């Protein structure tokens, strides 16, 4: 397996970052090169990262920065640092290995920060900040993914304030490594108002982790099934009010979709840079293949789309930091960048010829790994439904 060596072309032209973000970027690059890149082939082979990746990230300030200092975090509320982590992981070719830590910090932690009681914050946040308590979120079930209202995992009152949970979840990122899983559960029959969130802890009797799912790509990321057989969850592990699950899920969608858009945009830039390097060196008919008009036009069109995408994504990042990025914009960003990533990596594979279809160059793996972006975090069809609805359609 070969990891990338070239640097994407757009860096340095952006106005989003301050010097402290550049320093942080440098130190995260050093961390990736020292701690992640050398181990990556093993993790890719094992289809999981070690739990120590989370504690190592925490030790160097690359995990759950949002957690307040008094609870063990850095208390940093500046999403640009999260952007740096997502981009550098992609550019180093290890984004699937870093998917777990990023999901922990960017997708699941915000649920806890927004809805946990003071007692829950004291109980959970120190372990989340240190990386000893790994997070996952479980919405998708074997019978439903896009349609959250069809969630069938059921919670019944135990008569003593707690709940008994039965059901199963699938495709859960960090599923095997997770210690704390935010689980969407039906607690009454009201369609959307009947969903509640619980934090189910590893080791609770009846909570079992199923087999790792064999995926086409994203091999270093752990994805599994979870089973709940009469799991007794105390009242103090409910997150937010009973029946508020759907609202909580929907209100966290902007950062979840934006971080995927950020990674996808970085993936487009990386794929373009790798391809540009290749077509400059590879010769056919006595000249570099990049000088054929077809190659030039293909790369010129992609470069244009990538530049346009970069402007939109950086604007979305700015608006998210200002608290003004809408669900509609995040949906646009998610669907458009994941589609573009498919297009850029596919063209990249083609321009690499046979080598594009090997593990000798990073473009092939990037093409395989890109495919899921159009499916998870809400499929791109669901994104378009959502955008359409906000247009009154």
Ligand X SMILES: Cc1cc2nc3c(=O)[nH]c(=O)nc-3n(C[C@H](O)[C@H](O)[C@H](O)COP(=O)(O)OP(=O)(O)OC[C@H]3O[C@@H](n4cnc5c(N)ncnc54)[C@H](O)[C@@H]3O)c2cc1C
Residues with a known catalytic role:
256
Q: Does 359 bind ligand X (CB under 6 A)?
A: no
Which residue number has the CB closest to ligand X? 145
Least separation in angstroms between CB 219 and ligand X:
10
Find all residues with CB under 8 Å of 119, minimum gap 6, and list them.
236
Closest by alpha carbon to 224, among 152, 140, 304? 140
Q: Does 368 bind ligand X (CB under 6 A)?
A: no
Q: DSSP for 260-329?
A: HHHHHHHHHHHHHHHHHHHHHH-EETTEEGGGSHHHHHHHHHHHHHHHHHHHHHHHHHHHHHTT---HHH
Tell me which of 85, 94, 134, 138 binds ligand X, using CB under 6 A.
138
CA–CA gap between residue 205 and residue 203 (Å, rounded) = 6
Q: Beta strands 207-212 and 135-138: pairing type?
A: unpaired
Tell me which of 253, 327, 375, 387 binds ligand X, using CB under 6 A.
375
Least separation in angstroms between CB 384 and ligand X:
8
Q: Does 246 bind ligand X (CB under 6 A)?
A: no
Instruction: Give the helix/strand (H/E) hosting 210.
Output: strand 207-212
Tell me which of 105, 187, 218, 237 binds ligand X, using CB under 6 A.
218
The per-type count for the chain, helices as H runs and strands as E runs, is 13, 10
Q: Does 167 bind ligand X (CB under 6 A)?
A: no
Q: Does 95 bind ligand X (CB under 6 A)?
A: no
Q: Does 172 bind ligand X (CB under 6 A)?
A: yes
Q: Does 372 bind ligand X (CB under 6 A)?
A: yes
CA–CA gap between residue 150 and residue 306 (Å, rounded) = 37
Q: Measured in whole angstroms, how far is the alpha carbon of residue 314 from the centre of its chain?
A: 18
Least separation in angstroms between CB 170 and ligand X:
7
Least separation in angstroms between CB 378 and ligand X:
6
* Region binding ligand X by CB under 6 A among candidate stretches 71-79, 117-125, 156-164, 167-175: 167-175
Binding residues (CB under 6 A) for ligand X: these are: 137-140, 144-146, 171-173, 215, 218, 223, 372, 375-376, 378-379, 381-382, 385
């Amino acid at each position: 397996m070969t990891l990338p060596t070239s640097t994407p072309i757009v860096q340095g032209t952006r106005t989003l970052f301050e010097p402290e973000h550049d320093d942080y970027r440098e130190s995260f690059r050093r961390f990736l090169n020292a701690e992640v890149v050398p181990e990556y082939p093993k993790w890719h082979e094992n289809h999981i990262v070690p739990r120590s990746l989370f504690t190592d990230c925490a030790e160097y300030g690359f995990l759950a920065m949002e957690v307040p200092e008094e609870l063990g975090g850095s208390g940093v509320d500046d999403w640009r640092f999260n952007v740096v982590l997502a981009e550098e992981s992609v550019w180093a070719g290890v984004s699937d290995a870093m998917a777990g830590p990023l999901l922990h910090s960017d997708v699941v932690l915000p649920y806890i920060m927004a809805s946990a009681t003071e007692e829950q914050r004291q109980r959970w946040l120190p372990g989340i900040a240190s990386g000893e308590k790994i997070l996952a979120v479980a919405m998708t079930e074997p019978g439903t993914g896009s349609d959250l209202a069809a969630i069938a995992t059921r919670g019944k009152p135990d008569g003593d304030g707690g709940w008994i949970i039965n059901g199963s979840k699938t495709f859960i990122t960090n599923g095997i490594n997770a210690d704390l899983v935010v689980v969407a559960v039906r607690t009454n029959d009201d369609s959307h108002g009947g969903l509640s969130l619980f934090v189910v802890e590893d080791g609770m009797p009846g909570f079992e982790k199923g087999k790792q799912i064999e995926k086409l790509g994203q091999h270093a990321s752990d994805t599994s099934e979870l089973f709940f057989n009469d799991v007794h969850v105390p009242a103090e592990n409910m997150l937010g009010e009973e029946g508020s699950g759907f609202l909580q899920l929907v209100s966290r969608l902007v950062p979840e979709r934006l971080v995927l858009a950020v990674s996808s945009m970085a993936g487009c830039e990386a794929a373009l840079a790798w391809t540009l390097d290749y077509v400059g060196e590879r010769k056919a008919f006595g000249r570099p293949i990049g000088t054929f008009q077809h190659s030039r036009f293909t790369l010129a069109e992609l470069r244009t789309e990538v530049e346009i995408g970069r402007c939109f994504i950086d604007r979305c990042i700015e608006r998210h930091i200002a608290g003004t990025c809408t669900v509609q914009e995040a949906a646009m960003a998610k669907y458009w960048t994941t589609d573009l990533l498919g297009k850029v990596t596919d063209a990249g594979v083609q321009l690499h010829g046979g080598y594009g279809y090997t593990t000798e160059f990073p473009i092939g793996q990037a093409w395989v790994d890109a495919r899921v972006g159009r499916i998870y975090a809400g499929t791109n069809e669901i994104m378009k439904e959502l955008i359409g609805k906000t247009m009154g359609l």
